[in-house]
Amino acid sequence: MNKKRAIPWVSIFKDWIRKPRVVPYSRYQKYLPGRVNDYLMVEDLVVRKERLLELVNLLVTHDMKRLNEEFYDLISGKNENPFGLDWSEYDSLAPLERGE
């Protein structure tokens, strides 16, 4: 009792991959670092499962503390567009200037 133990994140994430719906109800969810927690708390379960798989792959080479500290570099390094935005469609919404 009252002793610190390392949380086995890889095995927990693998369980969550099988059942991504349980993430917000898990007893381990409150121990997730802020950025990782926000990244996993999406409503779409397919996206949540993909993100869990990505985090498991990152946990092989990084610990959870480093993953949280270098989160944006690690996630954007794997996927240049983590939100799935098509910037060309976004740019097409801007009004054209009168010289073009």
pLDDT tens digit sequence for 34-60: 999 999 999 999 999 999 999 999 999
What percent of the chain is predicted at pLDDT more than 70? Answer: 82
In the chain, DSSP finds a helix count (H) and a strand count (E) of 6, 0
Which residue from 30, 38, 17 is spatially nearest to 82, judged by alpha carbons? 38
Query: What is the value of pTM for the model shown?
Result: 0.72
For 32, residues 6+ apart whose C-beta sits below 8 A from its C-beta are 40, 64
